[in-house]
Amino acid sequence: MEKIVFEPEEGSPVEFYVLEETKLGGITYILVTEEEQGDGDAWILKDISSPEEEEAVYEMVEDDVELDAVGAVFESMMEDVEFT
């Protein structure tokens, strides 16, 4: 499972495991968790990097409409995932 380091503007870097990736409307989204196996919290990150950047830049999806839409896609892709 791919592992990434998320560096929020405030706070310490966090290592996440990438569970799934999808693209909607030309934007890449990844579903991540801190736990490699088992149940745990999951977050949806949005790729906001520009084409000239060497490394991807992600931000957490916080807009409820966007979160619901992308969450529904991830739920349909992964049988054992349910967002509550």
- Within a domain: 48: yes
- Within a domain: 84: no
Q: Which residues contact 23 (CB under 8 A, 6 or more apart)?
A: 29
Q: What does the pLDDT look like over 22-69, one tens digit per residue?
A: 999 999 999 999 988 877 788 999 999 988 888 888 999 999 999 999
Instruction: Give CA–CA dist 37/31, Å, rounded.
Output: 14
Range of the domain at 15: 3-77
Mean pLDDT of 8-24: 91
- Within a domain: 55: yes
Tally of structural domains, the chain: 1
- Within a domain: 50: yes
